[in-house]
Amino acid sequence: MAAWRERLAGVRGVLLDISGVLYDGGAGGGVPIAGSVEAVARLKHSRLKMRLCTNESQRSRGELVGLRRLGFDVSEAEVTAPAPAACQILRARGLRPHLLIHEGVRSEFDQIDTSNPNCVVIADAAEEFSYQNMNKAFQVLMELENPVLISLGKGRYYKETSGLMLDVGAYMKALEYACGIEAEVVGKPSPEFFKSALQEMGVEAHQAIMIGDDIVGDVGGAQRCGMRALQVRTGKFRPSDEHHPEVQADGYVDNLAEAVDLLLKHAD
Amino acid sequence: MAAWRERLAGVRGVLLDISGVLYDGGAGGGVPIAGSVEAVARLKHSRLKMRLCTNESQRSRGELVGLRRLGFDVSEAEVTAPAPAACQILRARGLRPHLLIHEGVRSEFDQIDTSNPNCVVIADAAEEFSYQNMNKAFQVLMELENPVLISLGKGRYYKETSGLMLDVGAYMKALEYACGIEAEVVGKPSPEFFKSALQEMGVEAHQAIMIGDDIVGDVGGAQRCGMRALQVRTGKFRPSDEHHPEVQADGYVDNLAEAVDLLLKHAD
C-alpha cells in the first residue's frame, strides 16, 4: 500500500462518523473513545475543515450535542444527520409519514403533517421496534397503492457499551421483504447524503476523507462518491473488515487519534 | 386455461395448508372459513388421500388439534409441521439452538439440548419478536464462527381476524442482513419439507395437489416439487396474486369448499 503521504495528499476536509468513532453509545450517554476528544479539538484548530456526518437517528440534533457533555467541542451546526434531510424530502414530495422512530428524534418531525399517512419513515427505533409497532408500519404500507418506505440509514448494527445492537437496516429489510418493496435510504451510504455534507463543508469529493467504523456504510459509501476513507479499529470494527470482499479502505487506523495524527502530518 | 377435468386428472393426494385455508387465526383461537369444516370432512371420506402441510410455528402439533375445537375432524398424526422437522435436523447435526420462538411451540423442543448454543432457530414468535429478543438472537449469531440460522418457514405475512400480521420470514431477513448470512428454511417452500409430506401421504408428486393461500410459499413451492397447486381466495390471498410475476397457480378457487367440489368431481 502507498505511503500515508501519498494516500492523504490534497485532503482539505474531513468527515467524521460519530458513533463508534467519537464514542461508544450505551446507558448514561455512552463513553468517549480514548483520545477522540483531543483528536476532534486538534482537527478543529487545524487548517483542515471538519464536519460530522452521522446516521444517528435515535436522537435529535439538539441532543447530539450531548456529545458536548462527553467533552467534545462540537455544535449542532456541524452535524449532517438523516432526520432533517428526510424532512426536506417529505415536504418536497407532499408525503405524510407514519413514523416508526425513537422518541428521542420525534421533535425533528414536529413540523411534519402525519395525518392520514401515505408513507412510512423508519429510523433506529431500538426498543420501539416491537412486533406491534413493526406490524403497524407493515399494515400502513400494505394499504397504500404505491407504498413508500423511507429509512434513515441502512446500517446492520452498531456498538454500544453493552455489545452489538441491531440497527435500522435490519428492520428496513424485514419490511422490504414483507411488502415486496424497496426502501429509499436517507443517510449514509446514499450519495446525496454524502454530497450534502461535502457541500456544507465546502470541499470537493476528491479533497475529502471520511473516517468511520462501518466498512460498507462509511468507507464504501464515501469511496463511491469519490472520497477517500479510513476505517478506525474502534466501535463496530471487526478484524474481518480488513479483508472485506468488496470494500478496501484507503487505510486502517487504530482510532480517531491515529487518523488525526496522520492527517495533520500528511494532508493538505 | 384447460378444463378442470384436465387440470385435476390423476390427482390422488391432497395437501392442505391450514391457516387461511381452514381458518383465520386470531383472538380466541380464530374462526373457521365458511364451508371448510364440511370440505375437510368430505375429503376425508373420499378416495383421495389428505394431509395437512403447514408452516404454523406458533403452536405445537398438540395444540394444532385445537382445530378440532373449531369443528375440524383432524388428528396430530395428519399434520406435517416445521418444528418436528427442525428437531430432526438439530439432532442429526448436533446443533444446540438458541430459540427465538413462541411459547406455544416450546414444548416441541423439550428434548433438545439448548445449552451453550451453536445455532439460532427462529419461528413465528409474534409478540416475542421484541427488539431485545431479536438482538439476543443477533448477538448469539455474531459470536459464532460459522453462524447457523434455521428458520421455520419464510412466510412474509399471514392473516388474522384483526388483519395481516408479519410472519417469520420478515425477521429471518432482518437477521440475514444484519449478520451477512443465509438462513436454512425448514418448512414450505423447502422441497425436503414438501417431500416428507408426500412420503407420509404415500403418493408421488405428480399425483398430488397443494391447496394454499400463499401464492409463493404454497403454490410456487409445491409446483417446483412437481405437484399441482390451487390458490384459494381466502386468508392472505390478494387479487394481485392472480397476476403474480413469477407464479401461476393451476387454478384459483373461492375457498376450500370449491376446491374440494372440483376435486371430488374431476380428480382420480
Tell me the one-letter amino acid at A38.
E
| Domains B8-81+188-266 and B82-186 agree in fold | yes
- Give the closest-approach CA distance of B154 to chain A in angstroms: 10
Judged by CB atoms closer than 8 Å, whether chains meet at A135 and B166 is answered as: yes
Please report the number of interchain residue pairs, chain A to chain B, with beta-carbon separation below 8 angstroms. Answer: 84
Distance in angstroms (rounded) separating the CA atoms of residues A105 and A103: 6
Q: Quote the mean pLDDT of chain B.
A: 95
Tell me the one-letter amino acid at B140.
V
Distance in angstroms (rounded) separating the CA atoms of residues B28 and A151: 36
The total number of residues shown for chain A amounts to: 268
Q: Which fold has domain B82-186?
A: Rossmann fold (3.40.50)
Nearest to B170 among A130, A169, A178 (CB): A178
Q: Are the C-beta atoms of residues B256 and B211 closer than 8 Å to each other?
A: yes
Chain centroid, CA B136 distance in Å: 26
Q: How many CB atoms lie within 10 A of CB B143?
A: 11
Which residue in chain B has the smallest CA separation from A139? B164
Q: Whose CA is closest to A131, among B98, B182, B134?
A: B134
Judged by CB atoms closer than 8 Å, whether chains meet at B128 and A127 is answered as: no
Q: Are the C-beta atoms of residues A227 and A197 closer than 8 Å to each other?
A: no
Would you put residue B193 in left (φ > 0), alpha (ψ -120 to 50) or beta?
Answer: alpha
The total number of residues shown for chain B amounts to: 268
Residues on A contacting B at a C-beta cutoff of 8 Å: 125-132, 134-135, 138-139, 142, 156-157, 163-167, 169-171, 173-180
Q: How far is CA A239 from CA A150, A181, A234, A253, B255, in A?
A: 32, 33, 10, 12, 55
Which residue in chain B has the smallest CA separation from A166? B135
Tell me the one-letter amino acid at B150.
I
pLDDT at B30: 86
Contacts of B134 in chain A (CB under 8 A): 129, 166, 170
Instruction: Using 70 as the pLDDT threshold, list the residues of chain B that sit under it.
Output: none
Contacts of B139 in chain A (CB under 8 A): 163-164
Q: Are the C-beta atoms of residues A218 and A18 closer than 8 Å to each other?
A: no
Tell me the one-letter amino acid at A153.
G
Task: Give, rounded to a whole angstrom, the gap between the first and last alpha carbons of chain A.
Answer: 20
Q: Which CATH superfamily is domain B8-81+188-266 in?
A: HAD superfamily/HAD-like (3.40.50.1000)
Contacts of B157 in chain A (CB under 8 A): 138, 142, 178
Judged by CB atoms closer than 8 Å, whether chains meet at A135 and B165 is answered as: yes
Q: Are the C-beta atoms of residues B149 and B169 closer than 8 Å to each other?
A: no
Residues on B contacting A at a C-beta cutoff of 8 Å: 125-132, 134-135, 138-139, 142, 156-157, 163-167, 169-171, 173-180
Judged by CB atoms closer than 8 Å, whether chains meet at A170 and B177 is answered as: yes
Q: Residue with C-alpha cell 428458520? A: B151
Q: Which residues in B170-200 are b (16+ Cβ under 10 Å) and which e? A: bbbbbbbbbbebebebbbbbbeebbebbbeb
- Give the closest-approach CA distance of A154 to chain B in angstroms: 10
Q: Residue with C-alpha cell 388439534? A: B65
Judged by CB atoms closer than 8 Å, whether chains meet at B166 and A127 is answered as: no
* B237-241 CB contacts, 8 Å cutoff, 24+ apart: B237/B20, B237/B213, B241/B215
Distance in angstroms (rounded) separating the CA atoms of residues B41 and A174: 38
| Residue B94 DSSP class | T
Residues 6 or more apart whose CB falls under 8 angstroms from that of B200 comprise B51, B80
Judged by CB atoms closer than 8 Å, whether chains meet at B129 and A134 is answered as: yes
Could you name the CATH architecture of A83-186? Answer: 3-Layer(aba) Sandwich (3.40)
Which residue in chain B has the smallest CA separation from A177? B170
pLDDT at A166: 97
Contacts of A138 in chain B (CB under 8 A): 157, 164, 166, 170
Helix (H) or strand (E) holding B160: strand B157-160
Distance in angstroms (rounded) separating the CA atoms of residues B117 and B94: 11
- Give the closest-approach CA distance of B190 to chain A in angstroms: 18
Locate the domains of chain A by residue range: 9-81+188-266, 83-186
Q: Are the C-beta atoms of residues B252 and B242 closer than 8 Å to each other?
A: yes
Q: How many CB atoms lie within 10 A of CB B131?
A: 19
- Give the closest-approach CA distance of B198 to chain A in angstroms: 28
| Residue A111 DSSP class | T
Which residue in chain A has the smallest CA separation from B171? A174
Q: Are the C-beta atoms of residues A116 and A87 closer than 8 Å to each other?
A: no
For chain A, 268 residues long, give each residue's pLDDT as a single digit of tens.
789 999 999 999 999 999 999 999 877 778 999 999 999 999 999 999 999 999 988 888 777 778 999 999 999 899 999 999 999 999 999 999 999 999 999 999 999 999 999 999 999 999 999 999 999 999 999 999 999 999 999 999 998 888 999 999 999 999 999 999 999 999 999 999 999 999 999 999 999 999 999 999 999 999 999 999 999 999 999 999 999 999 999 999 999 999 999 999 999 7
Q: Are the C-beta atoms of residues B124 and B152 closer than 8 Å to each other?
A: yes
pLDDT at B145: 95
pLDDT at A61: 76
Q: Is the bond leading into B189 cis (omega within 30 degrees of zero)?
A: yes
Judged by CB atoms closer than 8 Å, whether chains meet at A134 and B135 is answered as: no
Contacts of B174 in chain A (CB under 8 A): 166, 170-171, 173-174
Nearest to B173 among A134, A142, A177 (CB): A177
Judged by CB atoms closer than 8 Å, whether chains meet at A164 and B129 is answered as: no
Distance in angstroms (rounded) separating the CA atoms of residues B252 and B230: 6
Q: Which fold has domain A9-81+188-266?
A: Rossmann fold (3.40.50)
Beta bridge partners of A253: A232
